[in-house]
C-alpha cells in the first residue's frame, strides 16, 4: 500500500513518528480494537490528517505492516547476499539469530505479526500471510539451492519439502519465545540468551543430520 502524497511530503522524522505510533496501536489492540481517535491523541494531530495520509484505517494498517515486514526482509537479504564461504548450516544459525535479535529490538513489530497470524478480522489477512510465507520459503529455498550446488546437502533432498520444514521450525521457534502456550513447557518462553543459543545449535544440528552430506 502506497500512502497518499500528503504523507510522502512529510519529513522522514514525522513519518517515522506516525509509523511508530501506529505500530504501537495495532500491536497492542489488534486491528479491530485499534482506534484512529486513540492514535491521533498519541500523536497530537487532527483526526483528518490520518485519512489524508492513508485514506482509511485499512490503508494505514497495510502500510505500517508492510513497512515493518520490509525491515525483516532487509535483514534476511543481507545474510543471503553477503559474500561468504560460510556453509548452509552457519547461515541457518545466523538466520535463527537474526530472528531472535529482531524480536528483542522490535518486539512491537513481531507482536503485530502475531496479531495478523491469530486475528481473523484483519483485512486481506490471508493475502498478507500468504505473501509472508512465500517470501520466507523463497529465502530458505535460495540458501538450500546454493548449498546443493556446493555439495553441502544430499542430492536426493527435495528442496521444496526441506524448505517447508526449515521455515516451519524457524517460525515456531520464534513464536515459542513470545507466546507462552506455544512453548508447551519446553523452556523457550522468555528464556536466556544462553538457552536460546543452545536451542539454535541443537535445531541446526538436527537439520544438518537430516539433509547434510555428513
- Break the chain into its structural domains and give their ranges: 5-211
pLDDT value, residue 92: 94
Q: Say what the pLDDT of residue 1 is.
A: 65
Q: How far is CA 94 from the centre of its chain?
A: 15
Least confident segment among 7-11, 69-73, 125-129, 183-187: 69-73
Q: Which pLDDT score, from 0 to 100, does residue 122 have?
A: 87
Percent of the chain as helix, strand, coil, to the nearest 5: 75, 0, 20
Q: Model confidence over 97-152: pLDDT tens digits?
A: 989 998 998 899 999 999 999 988 888 899 889 988 998 999 999 999 999 999 99
Pick the closest to residue 18 from 52, 37, 45 (CA basis): 45
pLDDT of res. 210: 95
**Count of H-run helices and E-run strands, the chain:** 11, 0
Domain 5-211 CATH superfamily: Tetracycline Repressor, domain 2 (1.10.357.10)
pLDDT digits (tens, 9 = 90+) for 1-59: 678 889 989 999 999 999 999 999 999 999 999 999 999 998 999 989 999 999 999 99
Per-residue confidence band for 89, with pLDDT thresholds at 50, 70 and 90: very high
Band (pLDDT 50/70/90 cuts) for residue 77 is confident
Give me the mean pLDDT over the 76-100 stretch: 84
* Beta carbons of 196 and 100 less than 8 angstroms apart: yes
Residue 193 in this model has a pLDDT that exceeds 90: yes
Dihedrals phi, psi of 150, to nearest 5 degrees: -85, -5
CA atoms in the 13 A half-sphere facing the CB of 45:
17
pLDDT band at 173 (very low <50, low <70, confident <90, very high): very high
The dihedral formed by the CA atoms of 135, 118, 21 and 66, expressed in degrees to the nearest 10: 20
Its pTM stands at 0.86
Amino acid at each position: 500500500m502506497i500512502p497518499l502524497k500528503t504523507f510522502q511530503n512529510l519529513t522522514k522524522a514525522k513519518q517515522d513518528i506516525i509509523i511508530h505510533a501506529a505500530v504501537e496501536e495495532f500491536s497492542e489492540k489488534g486491528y479491530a480494537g485499534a482506534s484512529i481517535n486513540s492514535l491521533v491523541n498519541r500523536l497530537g494531530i487532527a483526526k483528518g490528517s490520518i485519512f489524508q495520509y492513508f485514506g482509511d484505517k485499512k490503508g494505514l494498517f497495510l502500510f505500517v505492516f508492510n513497512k515493518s515486514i520490509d525491515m525483516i526482509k532487509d535483514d534476511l537479504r543481507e545474510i543471503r547476499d553477503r559474500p561468504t564461504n560460510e556453509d548452509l548450516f552457519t547461515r541457518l544459525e545466523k538466520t535463527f539469530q537474526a530472528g531472535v535479535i529482531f524480536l528483542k529490538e522490535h518486539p512491537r513489530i513481531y507482536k503485530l505479526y502475531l496479531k495478523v497470524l491469530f486475528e481473523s478480522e484483519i483485512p486481506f489477512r490471508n493475502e498478507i500471510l500468504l505473501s509472508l510465507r512465500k517470501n520466507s520459503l523463497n529465502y530458505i529455498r535460495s540458501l538450500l539451492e546454493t548449498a546443493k550446488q556446493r555439495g553441502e546437502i544430499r542430492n536426493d533432498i527435495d528442496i521444496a519439502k526441506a524448505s517447508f520444514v526449515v521455515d516451519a521450525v524457524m517460525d515456531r521457534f520464534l513464536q515459542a519465545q513470545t507466546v507462552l502456550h506455544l512453548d508447551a513447557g519446553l523452556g523457550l518462553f522468555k528464556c536466556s540468551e544462553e538457552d536460546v543459543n543452545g536451542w539454535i545449535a541443537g535445531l541446526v544440528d538436527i537439520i544438518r543430520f537430516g539433509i547434510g552430506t555428513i
